[in-house]
A and B are shown apart, each in its own frame.
Chain A
Amino acid sequence: MAEFIAEYGSLLLQGTIDSIVMTALATLFAYVFGLPLGILVTITQEHSILPCKPVNVVLGWIVNIGRSIPFIILLVFLMPFTRALVGTATGVRGAIVPLVIAATPFVARIVETSLLEVEAGLIEVAHAVGATVKQIVFKVMLPEAKPSILVGVPLTFITLLGYSAMAGAVGAGGLGDIAIRYGYYRYQDIVMFATIVLIVIIVQIIQSGGMWFAKKNDKRIRK
């Protein structure tokens, strides 16, 4: 065991850090783009607060197309674009671009689902007090959907962690990269096993930490 740690410890540590940084950054950017997109997709729906069919249909398409392309294909397909944007298509930096593009429509959909859970009665209250569309979004829809939106964050992170491991296949760094290089090409099963254990641990921590945080922020739960 000590021998194993001496030999692979720093490699696995670096891989873990790379995976987490890559996934966290991708999650952050996915929300930067996905949150507004999700809001727009929701409020432009037929009976919502800013009905606009053309916008809704176009955004719906974008989201659906984005969601239907398998990540591994998107990754390869985007390489020239990635290179043009961040100068490289490999490494942590190169992986973030396809990760963000893959996760943005995913985030938009889960944000939409959360916003649609907000009771119609509350939107009605907002209309009755003369709130503008912007006020309804920022003072009613988002705050009321907040606990549900927060539940989506670990979900996105975990999905992206899986994607980032795939990105490892094209040399994106991180635990997926290590698993493929050592486990697949060099038949060092123990290293591959170690990466699996590490990924499972990360997922557990993010999932339970995320749920705890979302619950803590939900004022509908009696305390």
Chain B
Amino acid sequence: MIEIKNLSKIYNTNYGEFKALEDINITINDGDIFGIIGMSGAGKSTLLRCINLLEKPSSGHVVIDGQDITGFAGSQLLQLRRNIGMVFQRFNLLMQRTVKDNVAFPLEICGVPKADRDKRVAELLELVGLADKANNYPVQLSGGQQQRVAIARALANNPGIILCDEPTSALDSLTTSSLLQLLKEINEKLGVTIVIITHEMSVVNKICNRVAVINDARIIEQGVTKEVFSNPQHEMTKLLLSDLIVVKGGEN
């Protein structure tokens, strides 16, 4: 379980203080696929990055499985990060490493012996359907395939949580669907909690059981996806959802 309590993030910029997050309270349960939606600049990435402390909260707490991690530093912080996978919009694969060495990367960082690494990498590539690409380099893969590699990499250390920052934004709709399917499978089979940022309402609709809407640094609405989507309370949520309704209208 991830509990975010009264969390704020203030950036000191050349123009003075900038509040990127204000008094955020969210609870993400084990096994959730939790969506975070909001307009560009709302603070989604900042919030996600606070969960593994890539961004240090200015105040408030992040509690994971009952342990307050906000003050973690040094080896404790490295250990925490090793147990949280992360997937990025632009894949961020190491371009000079093969597919299998990319997946092995987090294992190398943890000092897993070579033989165990190879075995684990083979399993993971099987899981994401890229066993035949093990020795290819990222440049030889399509965007969708690269993101699958990134997902395999995020899973390497058997993390309990995966953080995804707009994982499908660089992909076409068909590829997006198959990737979402993969994330759902991972969530169901392995019980991994997934936190996913997106600006595509259809993504939330397809896989998120719960969702939070963030606007202008604040959470304006959160709850079970079906409820939030069928009965949005906030104007911004309605605005975001109008996008989905148009798409649905087109499909029917």
**A residues apposed to B, CB below 8 Å:** 119, 121-122, 124-132, 135, 139-140, 143-144, 146-147, 218-222
Contact = CB atoms under 8 A, between A and B. Distances in A.
Contacts of B98: 219
Interface of A, secondary structure class, is helix
Contact of B140 (A130, A132, A146, A222): A222
Given A127-B54, A130-B78, A130-B79, A122 B139 contact: no
B97 interface: yes
B95 A220 contact: yes
A124 B52 CA distance: 12
Given A130-B81, A140-B94, A219 B137 contact: yes
Given A129-B106, A130-B109, A221-B139, A124 B92 contact: yes
B108 interface: yes
Contacts of B13: none
A122 B92 contact: yes
Nearest to A139: B108
B109 A135 contact: yes
Given A143-B96, A222-B139, 13 more contacts: A119-B92, A121-B88, A122-B92, A129-B82, A129-B157, A130-B80, A130-B106, A131-B109, A139-B108, A143-B97, A144-B94, A146-B96, A147-B96
Contacts of B140: 222
A174 B86 CA distance: 56
A218 B88 CA distance: 23
A139 B109 contact: yes
Contacts of A124: 54, 88, 92
B34 interface: no
B96 A144 contact: yes
Nearest to A121: B92
B19 interface: no
